A and B are shown apart, each in its own frame.
Chain A
Amino acid sequence: MARTVLLVGTRKGCFLLESPDRRDWTLRGPFCEGWPVYHAIHDPGSGAIYAAAASEWHGSAVWRSPDLGETWTHSSEGLAYDEEAGRKLSKVSTLAADNGRLLVGVEAPGIFESRDQGATWSLLSTLAGQPGSEEWDDPANQPPGHLGISALMFDRDDSARFWAIVQGIGVFETADDGKSWTPRNRGLRADWPRPHEEVGFCVHKLVRSPSDRARMFQQNHVGMHRSDDEGHSWTEITEGLPTEFGFAAAVHPHDRDTFYVIPLDPGHGRTMVDGHAAVWRTSDGGSSWQQLDRGLPQRDAYVGVLREAMAIDRDDDPGLYFGTSTGQIFASVDAGDNWMQIADFLPSISSVEVATIE
């Protein structure tokens, strides 16, 4: 019988939530020895779980469990810049898996690759020479500058093609396995001066519709945007939302027009607007938005939801899941109409991913 597994990265390790019916959940963990886990993913090809983690004491590593959390190993072999490069790897931020291959995005900005299930790593690209790279290559912006590769997204039809987000710079696409890159930020809005026309955008989250590969959505620092041409151009679709700011986003697996975001207060708090927890959904490609809050706390809920902390499964009635900065996980099994709390008292949550295990 199929079961649903949520992979939860937190400031104190990785946790797994499992359910046979998406209603009754069992928690396991913490794993990864309590290291801060920034992103945990399931690789359907190998069945393994990978977790990008960075310990305050022991540095960065990618953890691997081949058996859904029963056993774990970790490695950072090769996960470092050459000493001569003058840059330092301070954190592993994000993971992507495709056809037995793993990528990890790091700070300072770079992408490392593993072809042996995370045992060893090698540098694939630093996006050298791209507009804006002088900023992230500036030693003054090395840690703690926090410019890094914050997200990676594979093209499922072409493993040499993928997209990378550089924090504060924008989206880049490669079609030749990282040898060359093209900025993909045309049409995005920025409310600050930018030295380059093509970059200087603060992209938080990028998702692509499984049912229409040309369609992408993104949540960035100053709005929601839609692309109908694989990211070559973007149209803003913020109108109708309570704020333009947020981190997490999810796209419906079967409906090209349905997309979810969690708007947050754009100030320093970056929590639910007025303490009212809500997910917002568009069912018409961003022409209009609907607030979804049934079952979510309606007041005094000053919680945040980070970039990788919302996920959606592939069920006919998709399940949506999000984790908060205060350790709760909420789930909906009717595409966001109704919500239930399925976990509480976890450490602050960095990421939530979902896997269906047959």
Chain B
Amino acid sequence: MADLHLPTTLMPLFGGLPRRVDVDAATVGDAIADLDRQWPGLRDRLCEPGPELRPHIHVYVDRERATLATPLDQGSRVDVIAAISGGAC
């Protein structure tokens, strides 16, 4: 199981979505697909067609910047961050 932490901006968009989720997935992309099955539409909020991560969504696996293809290990910590957008917001 990986220990996945989501940005707070997602919680109001999907009823019952917790800040922290245990996921059993081989990659970051698989983990997001698993969440999308439980909370339909969630993948669109994190990924663009491609698929690839949205420009201002950053993912770290065990503190290393990750992509959708990054593998997950048992006990990996995954942080999904809504990145700061340079003050334009």
Residues of A within 8 A of B (CB): 33, 55-59, 61, 74-77, 80-83, 88
Give min CB distance, B66 to chain A, whole Å: 17
The answer to whether A77 and B44 touch across the interface, beta carbons within 8 angstroms, is: yes
Q: Is the C-beta of B16 less than 8 angstroms from some C-beta in chain A?
A: no
Contact of A81 among B10, B46, B49, B88 (CB under 8 A): B49
A59-B49 contact, Cβ under 8 Å, with A33-B12, A33-B13, A75-B41: no
Contact B44 A59 (CB under 8 A): yes
Contact of A58 among B13, B50, B89 (CB under 8 A): B13
CA distance A3 to B34 in the complex (A): 45
Asked, given contacts A76-B41, A76-B44, whether A83 binds B50 with beta carbons under 8 Å apart, the answer is yes
Residue in chain B with minimal CB distance to A85: B49
Least CB distance from B20 to A in Å reads 19
Q: How far is the CB of A101 from chain B (nearest CB, A)?
A: 21
Q: Considering the chains assembled together, what is the distance between the CA atoms of A166 and B10 in angstroms?
A: 33
Across-interface contacts of A57 in B (CB, < 8 A)? 7, 9, 45, 54, 56-57, 82-83, 85
Asked whether B48 is an interface residue with its Cβ less than 8 Å from the other chain, the reply is: yes
Q: How far is the CB of B84 from chain A (nearest CB, A)?
A: 10
Contact between B54 and A58 (Cβ–Cβ < 8 Å)?
yes
Q: How many A-B residue pairs have CB under 8 A?
A: 48
A59 to B13: give the CA distance in the assembly, Å: 13
A75 contact set on B, CB distance < 8 A: 41
Interchain nearest-CB distance for A85 vs B (Å):
9
Provided the pairs A33-B12, A33-B13, A77-B41 are in contact, do residues A58 and B88 lie with their beta carbons within 8 angstroms? no
Residues of A within 8 A of B44 (CB): 59, 61, 76-77, 80
Question: What are 22 A-B contacts with C-beta separation under 8 Å?
Answer: A33-B12, A33-B13, A55-B9, A56-B88, A57-B56, A57-B57, A57-B82, A58-B45, A58-B57, A58-B82, A59-B44, A59-B45, A59-B48, A59-B54, A74-B13, A75-B41, A76-B44, A77-B41, A77-B44, A81-B49, A83-B50, A88-B48
The chain A residue sitting closest to B15, CB to CB, is: A73
Contact of B49 among A33, A55, A58, A80 (CB under 8 A): A80
CB within 8 Å of A: which B53-89 residues = 54, 56-57, 82-83, 85, 88-89
Residues of A within 8 Å of B7, CB to CB, are: 57
The 5 A-B pairs with the shortest beta carbon distances in the complex, nearest first, are A58-B45, A57-B82, A57-B56, A80-B49, A76-B44
For A76, list chain B residues within 8 Å (CB): 41, 44
Q: What are the residues of chain B within 8 A of A88 when measuring CB–CB?
A: 48-49
Known: A33-B13, A58-B45, A59-B44. 11 other contacts (CB 8 A): A56-B56, A57-B7, A57-B45, A57-B54, A57-B57, A58-B9, A58-B54, A58-B57, A59-B48, A59-B54, A61-B44
Instruction: Tell me which residues across on chain B come within 8 A of A80, comparing CB atoms.
Output: 44, 48-49
Choose among B12, B44, B82 the residue with the greatest number of A CB atoms under 10 Å from its CB.
B44
Could you tell me the distance in whole angstroms from the C-beta of B15 to the nearest C-beta in chain A?
9
Bound: A164/B41 CA distance, A:
29
Q: Which of A55, A56, A81, A83 has the most CB of B within 10 A?
A: A56
Contacting A at CB under 8 A, from B5-21, are 7, 9-10, 12-13
Q: Which residues of the partner chain B approach A81 to less than 8 Å between Cβ atoms?
A: 49
Complex Cα gap A57–B45 (Å): 8
User: In whole angstroms, what is the CA distance A75 to B14 when docked?
Assistant: 11
Min C-beta distance of B42 to chain A, whole Å: 10
A52 to B: closest C-beta gap in Å = 15
Chain B residues near A61 (CB-CB < 8 A): 44
